[in-house]
Structure 1
């Protein structure tokens, strides 16, 4: 099972992001129903690990997360693979991130040592694609602030046309 944990975006935020995607000249847009903010990507895991994660996450308590998206970003290092909007790493978001990581360690998972760069991916890029048009389209992007009230455990199914995300469980915030 290819798993990840993500902050769910309110429907009005996903709709606003989809309108931004319509202005982007290149890249393959992430489907509106797949828009999220990843807290932890876990890769391929056995089913019993998913169950252990669920048991740990269902007891996690954290406040709702105010979300402010701004600032176009190229993601994926030097060979940018995606375009998105960065999220402010305010205290509630960082608190949720830290608590999720604690639960992952508690389930026996070894986590990558990588800086948390909160963002929402809007489009995937093919190798060597020039994303300057996407960045220009997002330069003046405005997405109204949102309050995220849940996060979830997801399974990602890879297909030729992109990933399909299946919600395995959701967890309330607040």
Structure 2
């Protein structure tokens, strides 16, 4: 039974910039750079027939390329931080791409995503970090910025069932088209 999600890949130069943020937080388990991505829609563990339906439905998405810009850092879990992430600017094009995938996957019977879409790249998982430690780490590095890039495709990733995910494998890829304007 595959565990699936859709996402955008991070180019190597941006992955290297993110990797330079590593260190300085004792309880962090840093994500391998090849696993950096922007999750658009978590699908979860599904059977092979449903996975085929998902792949076919995603093939109906016809959208233009999406400009992606990482700017700023944050943490999920205010009292008990559990992950550190780089913020992805929520452009209309990115939000529309994610919303279309949400609609299409609900149409084939998948339950709605329970969390509000917050575009980000997870760079570390935390276990036992205090809010104070994380706030201190963020205050030093929180002005992180990276050059924007154009995402010319989104992908269907699979992952093994493990804590923290990864390695992530590209199962299918779906082109985003250059703007005709």
| Mapped contact 1:73–1:85 kept (Cα < 8 A) | yes
Note the C-alpha offset of 1:6: 0.8
Q: Does 1:83 align with 2:84?
A: yes
2-side partners of 1:77 and 1:61: how far apart? 37
Task: Give the aligned partner of residue 135 of structure 1.
Answer: 138
**How far 1:158 moved relative to its partner?**
3.7
* TM-score, normalization by structure 1: 0.89
More divergent stretch after superposition (70-79 vs 142-151): 70-79
Considering only CA atoms, is the larger Rg found in Structure 1 or Structure 2? Answer: 2
Gaps of 5+ in 1: none
Structure 1 residues 2 and 25: alpha-carbon distance in aligned structure 2, compared to 1, 3 A threshold: same
Q: Measured at CA, do residues 16 and 136 of structure 1 come closer, stay the same or move farther in structure 2, by a change above 3 Å?
A: same
Deviations along 1:99-136, one digit per CA (max 9) or x if unpaired, are 11122112210113321111111111013453234313
What is the DSSP-based 3-state SS (H/G/I as helix, E as strand, rest coil) of the residue aligned with 1:136?
Answer: helix
1:1-174 equivalent positions in 2, closer than 5 A: 1-21=2-22, 23-26=23-26, 27-76=28-77, 78-129=79-130, 130-159=133-162, 163-174=166-177
Cα separation, partners in 2 of 1:117 and 1:159, compared to 1, 3 Å: closer
The whole-number CA distance in structure 1 between the counterparts of 2:53 and 2:140 is 42
CA distance in 2, matches of 1:14, 1:170: 20
Q: CA deviation at 1:52?
A: 0.5
Q: Is the 8 A contact 2:39 2:120 kept in 1?
A: yes
Question: For residues 75-104 of structure 1, what are the alpha-carbon distances to aligned partners after superposition, in whole Å with 9 as ceiling and x for unaligned?
Answer: 246422100111111111011011111221
2-structure distance, mates of 1:112, 1:80: 22
Task: Output the CA distance in 2 between the equivalents of 1:44 and 1:78.
Answer: 29
2:29–2:124 contact (8 Å) kept in structure 1: yes
Q: Which runs of 5+ in 2 are unaligned?
A: none
CA contact (8 A) 1:24 1:137 kept: no
Once residues 7 and 87 of structure 1 are traced to their aligned partners in structure 2, the CA distance between those partners, rounded to angstroms, is: 11
Q: Note closer, same or farther for the CA distance 1:39–1:128 as it changes in structure 2 (3 Å cut).
A: same
C-alpha contact 1:25 1:133 (8 A) present in aligned 2: no
